[in-house]
Structure 1
């Protein structure tokens, strides 16, 4: 398989594994509604934030949508589009080293994207899908990058979204009116893609001019270009007029099927009975929607201008975010990629179109979908990302002063806290049992601690026939100096029983080798044998 090489690749290709785990710090004052409903906004570098979220959400996300920087070279935007921000420059200096100072903008972009895409892959469910929105500057690089990380077989499609329908007359050569949306799966054979809902305009095309008892219909061509030997018969219309398939085409049914359709009133010859035979397609029989194509028209998906108008209506005044996406685009993505109850992730959240689209779709079908939004810039995260979702959830006055009803819902707001471990590799004193339990269970099993798991017990859970235990922070209510964190005979007797192989994380062990073998116990000493990245 062809792969892409660039300056700095060797330094970043495994960097996602070396990113240290950080804690998430609640900021209740910035939360909205009921924070326990599963929606989450995280402010912080999205690489570190994704690593912090893995112990909670690995393998649980059905749909990822990201709109990363297009890398156009324009540095005048609120959200730096040249991946040349101080945060990225500092990160490149640490990870890539001095070589990073000479990287061109494409090298920098690839260094920034690779570890983030590698982490995002770990969040997807087996049937999950990722959508990556990009412009022409990095489209070719992105395709090869996604092939390398997800595998070319897992590429579902590359859609072209019509972002504008009029030409930019100041374009030097050709006016660009499309973005590209790369659609990849974790597992092509298990990925699930639904159908687009039909718009009111599309439904209006169905009429009932002949008062058919089955309701509104529209005519569909009875012939097709694919060779079909049984589809070469002659049809006689109600006026006696004869019809054969057009040259090079064939009826898409055999004569027996045609007669059955005719007897059932499903064939029309036009208003006067003299037109070519057509098959009636009934509205009530096709409400399962439209099969997605790779051409996403502006009428159905909105435009960049629509997105700006939406933001102005929400916040009033001039545009406060230069690269928003229209809600219609994200609604259509969620229609085909999610079902009620699914989890959606956007790690380049920006103006929070994804969050609004989730709430709007939930309002329509009471779907209970949940979102995770990650935004790097503190001011954008607070004043745009969170504020937009707050307004659409609770209601707001638009730019015309009209009250807009809220969609309902809420979110929890978090910032990145300290790493789990200090510079010497020791567990920080501020780390709670619950925090360490999530980390230990995830790094031991590769799966997040099950939702709702009671973390007031040293038994964290079972995975693949192995029971995982953690002795830490006096979990056994032991008031001694060691706090019950050392495995002794008395401590072992207090542990919840598990009939199988056991892994016990503890500060030390006073049991002999024979006893450990008999009890089928594997000891991992804290903090030295806890993975720190």
Structure 2
């Protein structure tokens, strides 16, 4: 498979493994009753901080669980004139490039910088995506070719779903001889073998339903018809025959066509009343497809703005929410993200947006939950300072309602918690005692089992839980050295076929441990790095 090379690639291709694991610190929670310092139990998250570190921090709880990812990354246009700096020259990114890529980073073109920034983030997003999950990425012509190539490398060519064309404008730009009226939404499966459960059909609109008619009063209800012929090159000899209509008209096949069905199958379809020969019975046969038998409308890669919104609509949404001239340039319309959520999620799915911008993804999730009673969860990550003043503020207003008079929009209800990136779990090779034991336990449990941590009731405070026949203990005290000895073993009630025990030291011989079915792991040496 062809691969893309650029300056700095060798420094970032595995950089996601070197990113420090930081814990997430909840700052406050919000729901219809307002903001509170106490935890309201919301599973919706808004995280302020570098999205590379935030994605790493999400792994213990969410690796392999996110059903739908939507991101709207910088488009690599070179334009510095707006709040979401699109030339990847933001001071935080420049600092990161300097630290990771090194002195080479001074010579990078904006394309090199963009690829260095995107690659490790896509690697972590791929880890978070569920096996049946789908990622959607907004992009334009400046970087869509580069994006496709690195996505082919990370997600796999066979997992490519579609490159959707979104009609973002309502009319051409009069200032340009040729103006861009579209952007792309590039979509990849995590695992194409799970594709059957990945994509939903669209709901039929009234316009869609109006195309189905019933001129012959078919008891199965309204229908549309499709051609009964196919390309001759794909047909078997049983698909070549002379058709005689119910009225007696003889229909010969053109040289380049065959019938869609064999003669016995065609006779069955005719007998069942599923073939239409026109009102006079003399027409070329057409296959009926009934509205009552359709689950929904099939998808295609052209998304007109009449169906999913446009940039002017998105700007108006922001202006209405904040009750002033738009405070965020080039947001995406809510209807565009709702379309993605509709086709790629179930009512209880987790949706992640790690370039959250103005918070459109959360707005779309809340709208859809209100409309169908769903319990979808959103996770937003935004590294810029406006994560609180724009991203979270928009979500607060959507939950409680916004706008005045004829522009008033009823609140969706819902909740979220706001997080900051906290301390690193490890400082050098040592555990960071400032993190707190419970978050370290969560991390250790996940690295052992790849499962989210849920505290287990036990008389032993060091017991983590059991999985696949193994029991796990994390014998850790921040202020003292812990020793795995016979006294500690005498207090164990929960045992497995194998019992894994983390401690600072071990006073039992390896032979005795094997005899007892115990695996000793030394803190911090044997704690896995994500």
TM-score normalized by structure 1? 0.89
User: Aligned with 2:415: secondary structure?
Assistant: coil
Aligned to 2:527: 530
Aligned to 1:418: 423
Structure 1: gaps spanning 5 or more residues = 475-480
- Tell me if the contact between 2:472 and 2:501 (Cα under 8 Å) persists in the aligned partners: yes
User: Aligned with 1:28: secondary structure?
Assistant: strand
User: Aligned with 1:121: secondary structure?
Assistant: helix
How has the CA–CA distance of structure 1 residues 490 and 375 changed in structure 2, closer, same or farther, with 3 Å as cutoff?
same
- Tell me if the contact between 2:29 and 2:417 (Cα under 8 Å) persists in the aligned partners: no
User: Aligned with 1:75: secondary structure?
Assistant: coil
Q: Distance in 2 between matches of 1:301 and 1:513?
A: 64
User: Aligned with 1:38: secondary structure?
Assistant: coil
User: Aligned with 1:65: secondary structure?
Assistant: strand
Q: Distance in 1 between matches of 2:293 and 2:173?
A: 42
How has the CA–CA distance of structure 1 residues 236 and 200 changed in structure 2, closer, same or farther, with 3 Å as cutoff?
same
Between 38-47 and 452-461, report the one with greater CA deviation. 452-461
Q: Distance in 2 between matches of 1:362 and 1:490?
A: 53
- Tell me if the contact between 1:459 and 1:496 (Cα under 8 Å) persists in the aligned partners: no
- Tell me if the contact between 1:157 and 1:183 (Cα under 8 Å) persists in the aligned partners: yes
Deviations, residues 467-492 of structure 1 (Å, cap 9, x unaligned):
33201238xxxxxx748x32222222
CA RMSD of aligned residues (A): 2.8
Q: How does 1:68-83 map to 2 (within 5 A)?
A: 68-83=73-88
User: Aligned with 2:519: secondary structure?
Assistant: strand
Q: How does 1:31-430 map to 2 (within 5 A)?
A: 35-171=40-176, 174-191=178-195, 192-226=198-232, 227-228=234-235, 229=237, 230=239, 232-236=241-245, 243-245=251-253, 248-270=256-278, 276-286=284-294, 288-379=295-386, 381-397=387-403, 401-422=406-427, 425-430=429-434
User: Structure 1 residue 531: deviation in Å?
Assistant: 4.2
- Tell me if the contact between 2:430 and 2:524 (Cα under 8 Å) persists in the aligned partners: yes
1:437 aligns with 2:437: no
User: Structure 1 residue 391: deviation in Å?
Assistant: 2.6
User: Structure 1 residue 107: deviation in Å?
Assistant: 0.8
- Tell me if the contact between 1:449 and 1:460 (Cα under 8 Å) persists in the aligned partners: no
How has the CA–CA distance of structure 1 residues 331 and 451 changed in structure 2, closer, same or farther, with 3 Å as cutoff?
farther
User: Structure 1 residue 509: deviation in Å?
Assistant: 2.3
User: Aligned with 1:351: secondary structure?
Assistant: coil
How has the CA–CA distance of structure 1 residues 440 and 450 changed in structure 2, closer, same or farther, with 3 Å as cutoff?
closer
User: Structure 1 residue 190: deviation in Å?
Assistant: 2.3
Q: Distance in 2 between matches of 1:40 and 1:2?
A: 38
- Tell me if the contact between 1:71 and 1:138 (Cα under 8 Å) persists in the aligned partners: yes
How has the CA–CA distance of structure 1 residues 31 and 8 changed in structure 2, closer, same or farther, with 3 Å as cutoff?
farther
Aligned to 2:2: 2
User: Structure 1 residue 520: deviation in Å?
Assistant: 2.7
- Tell me if the contact between 1:225 and 1:248 (Cα under 8 Å) persists in the aligned partners: yes
Aligned to 2:490: 493
- Tell me if the contact between 1:54 and 1:448 (Cα under 8 Å) persists in the aligned partners: no
User: Structure 1 residue 438: deviation in Å?
Assistant: 1.5
Deviations, residues 347-377 of structure 1 (Å, cap 9, x unaligned):
1111222222222333343332212111111
Deviations, residues 70-106 of structure 1 (Å, cap 9, x unaligned):
0111111111111111110111111112221221111
- Tell me if the contact between 2:245 and 2:282 (Cα under 8 Å) persists in the aligned partners: no
User: Structure 1 residue 120: deviation in Å?
Assistant: 1.0
Between 194-203 and 81-90, report the one with greater CA deviation. 194-203
Aligned to 1:449: 452
User: Structure 1 residue 294: deviation in Å?
Assistant: 2.6
Between 448-457 and 159-168, report the one with greater CA deviation. 448-457
How has the CA–CA distance of structure 1 residues 510 and 151 changed in structure 2, closer, same or farther, with 3 Å as cutoff?
same
User: Structure 1 residue 404: deviation in Å?
Assistant: 2.0
- Tell me if the contact between 1:66 and 1:133 (Cα under 8 Å) persists in the aligned partners: yes
1:467 aligns with 2:474: no
User: Aligned with 1:430: secondary structure?
Assistant: helix
User: Structure 1 residue 269: deviation in Å?
Assistant: 4.6
How has the CA–CA distance of structure 1 residues 232 and 299 changed in structure 2, closer, same or farther, with 3 Å as cutoff?
farther
- Tell me if the contact between 1:83 and 1:108 (Cα under 8 Å) persists in the aligned partners: yes
User: Structure 1 residue 259: deviation in Å?
Assistant: 4.5
How has the CA–CA distance of structure 1 residues 215 and 37 changed in structure 2, closer, same or farther, with 3 Å as cutoff?
farther
- Tell me if the contact between 1:326 and 1:353 (Cα under 8 Å) persists in the aligned partners: yes
Q: Distance in 2 between matches of 1:164 and 1:88?
A: 30
How has the CA–CA distance of structure 1 residues 121 and 457 changed in structure 2, closer, same or farther, with 3 Å as cutoff?
farther
Aligned to 2:513: 516
User: Structure 1 residue 159: deviation in Å?
Assistant: 2.3
User: Aligned with 1:511: secondary structure?
Assistant: coil
Structure 2: gaps spanning 5 or more residues = 34-38
Aligned to 2:36: none
TM-score normalized by structure 2? 0.89
Q: Distance in 1 between matches of 2:32 and 2:23?
A: 21
Aligned to 2:16: 16
- Tell me if the contact between 2:31 and 2:414 (Cα under 8 Å) persists in the aligned partners: no
Deviations, residues 436-491 of structure 1 (Å, cap 9, x unaligned):
0111123344x1434565698422234454433201238xxxxxx748x3222222
